[in-house]
């Protein structure tokens, strides 16, 4: 069986991969790429996303660069378990929107000998670890950190800066509401709005 780095691991079955980073960093695009490679390899795949994420499509998984693939919207992470009896590769997008039981669900799936690929924001707009993702990162066998480009200076961006003053944790939006920023530009933007970044 081949992993993404082309290392052959004979007989290895069941693991968790996490693709994480800021908004506009290519997380969903990378998830779709890995799933499509699995399809080429004739593996049975299924992708899941939170029902609340209807930005581009209610059912399809769509990246910011308009790549798409069929997905199954679910209300809770545990609902995924009802759909994977004959599935070999499970993809989960926007995983930060699920509750903390996502970690246990992913463990259960991997323990059944299945490959789990998760794409998720690592931090919220306040710069705090987002939902179940810190726990998921700690148990994952493979973690890929991806970056966007800072909209202020062009350096690698690590933060998802919210352009509005709204303080609600989950606000679905695109470039009209969020912009990727590097650490320095993020801190400057927060200070200019009289909001100190709450990192931890």
State pLDDT tens for residues 19-43: 999 999 999 999 999 999 999 999 9
Residue 32 lies in a domain: yes
3 state SS for the chain: CECCCCCECCCCCCEEEEEEECCCCCHHHHHHHHHHHHHHCCCCEEEEEECCCCCCCCCCEECCCCCEECCEEECCHHHHHHHCCCCCEEEECCHHHCCCCHHHHHHHHHHCCCEEEEEEECECCCCCECCCHHHHHHHCCEEEEECEECCCCCCEECEEEECCCCCCCCCCCCCCCEEEECHHHHHHHHHHCCCCCCCC
pLDDT of 6 above 50: no
**Per the structure block, which two tokens stand in for 11?**
């007989």
* % of the chain with per-residue pLDDT over 90: 70
Section 162-167 average pLDDT: 79
Q: What is the pLDDT of residue 194?
A: 56
Question: Could you tell me how many residues make up the chain?
Answer: 200
**Per the structure block, which two tokens stand in for 78?**
């545990």
Q: What's the pLDDT band for 151 if we cut at 50, 70, 90?
A: very high
Q: What's the pLDDT band for 130 if we cut at 50, 70, 90?
A: very high
Read off the CATH number of the domain in which 97 is found: 3.40.50.300
pLDDT of 54 above 90: no
Residue 165 lies in a domain: no
pLDDT higher for 61 or 152? 152
Q: What is the pLDDT of residue 30?
A: 95
94 is catalytic: yes
Average pLDDT, the chain: 86
Domain containing residue 64? 15-146
Which residues are CB-neighbours of 165 under 8 A, at least 6 positions away?
193
Residue 119 lies in a domain: yes
Section 60-89 average pLDDT: 84
Q: What is the pLDDT of residue 33?
A: 94
pLDDT of 75 above 50: yes
Residue 102 lies in a domain: yes
Section 47-56 average pLDDT: 79
> How many domains does the structure of the chain reveal?
1
Q: What are phi and psi of 159, to 5 degrees?
A: -115, 150
Which residues are CB-neighbours of 103 under 8 A, at least 6 positions away?
132, 135, 136, 139
pLDDT of 67 above 50: yes
Q: What are phi and psi of 136, to 5 degrees?
A: -65, -40
**Per the structure block, which two tokens stand in for 43?**
């593996």
Q: What is the pLDDT of residue 65?
A: 58
pLDDT of 1 above 50: no
**Per the structure block, which two tokens stand in for 6?**
């082309």
Q: What is the pLDDT of residue 164?
A: 76
Q: What's the pLDDT band for 70 if we cut at 50, 70, 90?
A: confident
Residue 95 lies in a domain: yes
Residue 51 lies in a domain: yes
Options 76, 94, 141, 179, the catalytic residue: 94
Residue 109 lies in a domain: yes
User: By CB neighbour count within 10 A (0-12 exposed, 13-18 middle, 19+ buried), where does 116 fall?
Assistant: buried
pLDDT of 127 above 70: yes
Residue 163 lies in a domain: no
Query: Are the beta carbons of 138 and 110 closer than 8 angstroms?
Result: no
């Amino acid at each position: 069986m081949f992993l993404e780095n082309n290392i052959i691991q004979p007989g290895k079955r069941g693991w968790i991969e996490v693709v994480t980073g800021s908004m506009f960093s290519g997380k969903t695009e990378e998830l779709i790429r890995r799933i499509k490679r699995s399809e080429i390899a004739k593996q049975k795949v299924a992708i899941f996303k939170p029902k609340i994420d209807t930005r581009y499509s209610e059912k399809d998984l769509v990246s910011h660069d308009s790549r798409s693939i069929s997905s199954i919207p679910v209300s809770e992470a545990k609902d995924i378990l009802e759909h994977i009896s004959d599935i070999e590769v499970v993809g989960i997008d926007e995983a930060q929107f699920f509750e903390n039981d996502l970690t246990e669900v992913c463990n259960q799936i991997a323990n059944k000998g299945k490959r789990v690929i998760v794409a998720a924001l690592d931090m919220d707009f306040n710069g705090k670890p987002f939902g179940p993702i810190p726990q998921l990162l700690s148990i994952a066998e493979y973690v890929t950190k991806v970056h966007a480009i800072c909209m202020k200076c062009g350096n690698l961006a690590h933060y998802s800066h919210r352009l509005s003053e709204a303080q609600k944790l989950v606000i679905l939006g695109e470039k009209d509401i969020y912009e990727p920023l590097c650490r320095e530009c993020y801190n400057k933007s927060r200070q200019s709005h009289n909001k100190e970044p709450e990192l931890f």
